[in-house]
Amino acid sequence: MKRFLSVLLVTLLLVPLLITSATAEEVTITLASFPDQPKAALEAAIAAANLGFKVEIIEYPQNEYENKIKMAFGAGNATDLVLIDGPNTASYAATGVLEPLDAYWAKEDFDDLVSSAKSTATWNNQIWVAPLNESNTVLFYNKKVFDELGITAPTKVEDAWTFEQLLDVCEKVTIPGQRYAIQPQMFSLANKNEGQTYTQMLWLWMGGGEVIAPDGSTATGFFDGEGSKAGIQFYADLFTKGYATTEDIVNAFETDRVVMWVNGPWAIGNWRRDFPNVEWGATPMPKGARSASGSGSWNIGMSAASKHKEEAWKVIEAITGKQGQTIWCEETMNTPARASVLESLDMYKEYPFDIINEQMLKTSMARPSTPAYPQISEALMDCFFEVAYGEDVNAAVAKATQKMNEALGNVK
């Protein structure tokens, strides 16, 4: 009996030890994300890859997402993988918190990316992130209102409305104090985030301008150039003429308070989920001195401090590889960053993705790639906010140019 009790006691002591050591060897890869990137779609892509280890997706509120991951990097407790917005890649890479992906990513597979996605993924001749998808922007419109007023929207880039034609449409659809013609940026002006810059920058490009010099040295002669000012002035006029509003209207497009909206195809996914009754149509971005549409989206980067880099790379492959990206894009209605996925899915040949595909080939433009991008983005956004509220375009542009030059001057 004594012997039996001793054996039992030793077993009881050993079992937890064995369990603990087995658990310690289990790998869990953590991925920082935010609610706008549907978790279910990420999980579906990961599940399809059958990785054999656990992947935990940690969500932070969207407006606080970037702060959270920056602080986590600073505190040394970042997740293994993080979602990074395309234009911010350089600012993260420059601080050394990201692991370069060149050693993990086979060249032939990397070459499957469309060219704009390749530029987003690279900085300083190294690959830093893997794109979740590409992006593009169109002018969405309320189909019911257009049908009622007999307005026909073009569906080819070559037929896109000119700025003057857009103003005519704005005049027709506006009901003063009740219905606004257009929301020319992604969110109402009560929001300050990259989505605003992403869409506001289009007006500057359409006016014929640029944000900074191609070598990233200055904004003088670019942001304050005549083309940029013309685009910004057009954006300002939309507000001063009463076609757009500075009011913070919740779900303005979905509740018929705004008729047109500059946004990306992910809006379609949101409508399907949350507003199935919205009757929408899409038309190419209008053209001023030239045509322009957005590009660059969210990517996955690997923390340089990750203890499980091989496994972390497998997760990146699972989500951004051909299979994963197909699942992700079908679920979220995002535009693929891989040429092979773009070709294999029929939905990208159909309306409205046929417009997006054509724009991606002909008119898409990339936001500047510089470690000073966060400051550039903020200065640009502030400038557009100021002119929307009726401030003088020249003064607002001069102020923003000075801020941009200071930020660019601090890049080492």
Partner 1 sequence: MHKFVRARPIPGTGGKEQRMTVRKLRTSAVGYLFILPAVLIIGIFFVYPAIQLFTIGFTDYNLMSGRGSQVGFSNYANMFRNPDFVNSLGVTFKLALFIVPTQTLIALVMAVLVNQKLRGVSLFRVLFFFPAITSFVAVAIMWKQMYNPTFGLANTLLQWLHLPRMRFLSSKQQALISVGVACIWKSWSYFMVIFISGLKEIPQEIEEAARIDGANSFQQFLFITLPMLKRVTLFVVVITTMDAIKLFIPAFTMTSGGPLGTTDTTVHYVWRQAFRLMQVGPAAAMSTVLFLIIVAITLVQFKIGSKENQ
Q: Which residues bind partner 1 (CB under 8 A)?
A: 66-67, 70-71, 73-74, 91-92, 95-97, 189-192, 246-250, 255, 257, 374-375, 378, 382, 385-386, 389, 391, 399, 410
Contact 290, 80 (CB under 8 A): no
Q: What's the closest the beta carbon of residue 385 comes to partner 1, in angstroms?
A: 6
With respect to partner 1, which residue has the nearer C-beta, 24 or 250?
A: 250
What is the SS3 string spanning the chain?
Answer: CHHHHHHHHHHHHHHHHHHHHHHHHCCEEEEEECCCCCHHHHHHHHHHCCCCCEEEEEECCHHHHHHHHHHHHHHCCCCCEEEEEHHHHHHHHHCCCECCCCCCCCHHHHCCECHHHHHHHEECCEECEEECCECCCEEEEEHHHHHHHCCCCCCCHHHCCEHHHHHHHHHHHCECCCEEEEECCCCCCCCCCHHHHHHHHHHHHHCCCCCCCCCCCCCCCCCCCHHHHHHHHHHHHHHHCCCCCCCCCCCCCCCCCEEEEEECCHHHHHHHHHCCCCCEEEECCCECCCCCECCCCEEEEEECCCCCHHHHHHHHHHHHCHHHHHHHHHHHCCECCEHHHHHHCHHHHCCCHHHHHHHHHHCECCCCCCCCHHHHHHHHHHHHHHHHCCCCHHHHHHHHHHHHHHHHHCCC
With respect to partner 1, which residue has the nearer C-beta, 94 or 289?
A: 94
Q: What's the closest the beta carbon of residue 399 comes to partner 1, in angstroms?
A: 8
Q: What's the closest the beta carbon of residue 194 comes to partner 1, in angstroms?
A: 11
Q: What's the closest the beta carbon of residue 375 comes to partner 1, in angstroms?
A: 5
With respect to partner 1, which residue has the nearer C-beta, 109 or 391?
A: 391
With respect to partner 1, which residue has the nearer C-beta, 224 or 254?
A: 254
With respect to partner 1, which residue has the nearer C-beta, 196 or 335?
A: 196
Q: What's the closest the beta carbon of residue 69 comes to partner 1, in angstroms?
A: 9
Q: What's the closest the beta carbon of residue 342 comes to partner 1, in angstroms?
A: 34
Q: What's the closest the beta carbon of residue 32 comes to partner 1, in angstroms?
A: 14
With respect to partner 1, which residue has the nearer C-beta, 68 or 287?
A: 68
Q: What's the closest the beta carbon of residue 8 comes to partner 1, in angstroms?
A: 45
With respect to partner 1, which residue has the nearer C-beta, 51 or 305?
A: 305
Q: What's the closest the beta carbon of residue 389 comes to partner 1, in angstroms?
A: 5
With respect to partner 1, which residue has the nearer C-beta, 154 or 374?
A: 374
With respect to partner 1, which residue has the nearer C-beta, 52 or 96?
A: 96
In this structure, how many other beta carbons lie within 10 angstroms of the beta carbon of residue 390?
10
With respect to partner 1, which residue has the nearer C-beta, 8 or 71?
A: 71
Angle separating helix axes 373-388 and 194-206, nearest 10 degrees: 70
Q: What's the closest the beta carbon of residue 61 comes to partner 1, in angstroms?
A: 11
Cβ burial, residue 411 (10 Å; 0-12/13-18/19+): middle
Angle separating helix axes 322-332 and 266-274, nearest 10 degrees: 50
For residue 183 the two structure tokens come to: 């929301």
